[in-house]
Structure 1
């Protein structure tokens, strides 16, 4: 049984890695030497040249700075709001805690496509369309439910005696939250932020729907624009651009992988 499990894990890992391998190998191929068929071995050493071509064609520099700002600001704000909500439904006495959990967490259960039409109409009428503020608002709103899920589950593991002892010493709820629960939730806060950073960085749907200016759009929207120029720049350049814009999230994940292991050990509802 153990051998079969190991074989299954290896097969799943290979199947998962094959598309990534093909992207990397074909990104090395010079654009003028690409024949239209997927290569299984490198056809050259043009990866850096293809990345440079993608950088210039899609103007990835400004869009990467935009995505960096969106990911950092939206991630921080969403995690802060989620931490307050998680504290409220775990430490503060009151009924219907499970109901409030589902009310907040349900925001991550509905498909994003269901919000596009009312969002586009509302943004167009309110002047938020094609603005950094508009994208930040929707990113914060969509990041809160899952961050709340992580932080609420973590705070459930903290001893209830912490809040009781602090109250006996005269501490208010805000003091208990900032002085005890936040410091004890640092690993969970970091994990939630990293999750949201990666999600905002890779988000495409809202980026192409709620913005069109090069000075506003996030990096994935810029990459989508590069793909629309498929016949001009060539598939290897598009693939190299995809590798280039994925590097920040890969670096962040590898640098903080221990945070995931230590913070996401279990879930409770």
Structure 2
């Protein structure tokens, strides 16, 4: 085994351990029955109280409506971002549009500033336009922040698609819309699914906009509800909070592993 391979495997092992340690602590301490938690973290599993902890987290934080809200925000925003990004990638790469590089930077520039910069102007504008504390308001902002990265991925994937197919279809008289729907979309399906997974996870895990642009329990996403569990109930111990964190993470884990083959294939160059 070469030195380079040893260094690579060693680095990957260290990174895996660094990622697994906090995950292990989260799982082990979520297993501890809330009534027997001593206040210090457990490193090895002892008793099993996970389901009871999850049940208490679900009831006390009222996670049911929050789950529905986050599912709505994540699905609608991710789908809208994928649709917009796929159309934009088609327009800037496949269609004969002038200043393609300029359009790329105009759209992608949305990722260059930290999201915290937008909090104050968003709060003020939402309050003035009655979008504050509404589901449509969160859908709009989640879609807007998801488009730039989605466009970046879809544009790069579009660069690998065969141009000969498009040229042949145009010579046969196909309209741009037909080329997009019948050729570009089927060829880009794996990348579209991968982008959907990315954006679904990003929206599902958002806390900042959820606590800034909403106040009502029937509007707040699941991460904001989970934050309320720790902030508003001083008698709730860490095992219940950690069990709640595991519970709200399940949809993203299921989605990622169910779409794993599309995610992997989208990372490969199209030949």
TM-score, with length taken from structure 1: 0.96
- 5 Å-filtered alignment, 1:180-259, equals 180-229=183-232, 231-259=234-262
In structure 2, the residue corresponding to 1:43 is in which secondary structure?
A: coil
Partner of 2:93: 90
Q: Is the 8 A contact 2:61 2:225 kept in 1?
A: yes
Pick aligned residue for 2:27 from 24, 29, 39: 24
How far apart, in 2, do the equivalents of 1:108 and 1:266 lie? 24
Partner of 1:80: 83
Partner of 1:39: 42
How far apart, in 1, do the equivalents of 2:269 and 2:206 lie? 26
Deviation of 1:230 after TM superposition, in Å, equals: 5.2
Q: Which runs of 5+ in 2 are unaligned?
A: none
- 5 Å-filtered alignment, 1:97-112, equals 97-112=100-115
How far apart, in 1, do the equivalents of 2:247 and 2:169 lie? 49
Q: Please state if 1:56 is matched with 2:59.
A: yes
Deviation of 1:127 after TM superposition, in Å, equals: 0.2
Q: Is the 8 A contact 2:146 2:199 kept in 1?
A: yes
Q: Is the 8 A contact 2:91 2:97 kept in 1?
A: no
In structure 2, the residue corresponding to 1:240 is in which secondary structure?
A: helix
Q: Is the 8 A contact 1:74 1:143 kept in 2?
A: yes
Pick aligned residue for 1:132 from 132, 135, 139: 135
In structure 2, the residue corresponding to 1:233 is in which secondary structure?
A: coil
Structure 1 stretches of 4+ with a deviation exceeding 6 A read: none
Q: Which runs of 5+ in 1 are unaligned?
A: none
